[in-house]
Structure 1
């Protein structure tokens, strides 16, 4: 239900059961091309609500909510555990009557170095993922722009018969 406008309204896609009790949008709508066009038309109608059409022909697979939250949980588990023993200053040099131990600054530097080493790969992957996400967005925007240009160029030729199209192509 959309409640963000003056009049709340509902948008829905109906997919009836087939004779053999299967869900089949294809049997209701017609062909894959008609279903694709229907999705595109629907996306155009809700674009002002901030919704975007998915990538046409995408090979993306559905991820369940449980799979999503399991991945999130795996991502927040601590990879580095700082134990009380790790925080204790280490003996740097042991002498007969005295010994040199790490200063608090040296302990902090040692732990910081260890944590940075452990997370270096994760930070690099996150940086790469961010760049790839930006690039994917740019590519999607480019594809959308080219699709709109193509549709505009095809518009004058809609409704022409094969003979008329052949005549246009000869010119």
Structure 2
């Protein structure tokens, strides 16, 4: 993993490396890819440094897809891919989360991918479904419990500070 100081995207964010900025806010940056797969190939990155999607706080991700959508509209792309890779074997080349918006104007230009589908055993798929769903529900319940406790503390402080009627 590249340190934040060595990260090429962090250097672009800081302005140490020039880029063709298309959009910038407090939390994200969008710019043209200098090694495009097609005309209009752009990258959208959170300013928060993290190698993989799970390393980025949710609030740092909220603007990304709306900006990708604006890039699609601005580029005029009718066909396009939105791509986000995590890890070397998944073809991630820069250790900073980034989303590609790659116009696909023809079969020769843009992203070329294969989709090697695998046969599945429905019983194994059913077991996997139950496992993932339970883990997701646990995460959601944990987050709700933490958020609920936080809001109770905040409400408690607020009500204690209110003057009596």
TM-score in same-fold range (> 0.5): no
State the structure with bigger RCO (CA 8 A, min sep 6), 1 or 2: 2
- Structure with the higher fraction of residues in strand conformation: 2
Query: Which structure's CA Rg is the greater one?
Result: 1
State the TM-score, normalizing by the size of structure 1. Answer: 0.27
- Structure with the higher fraction of residues in helix conformation: 1
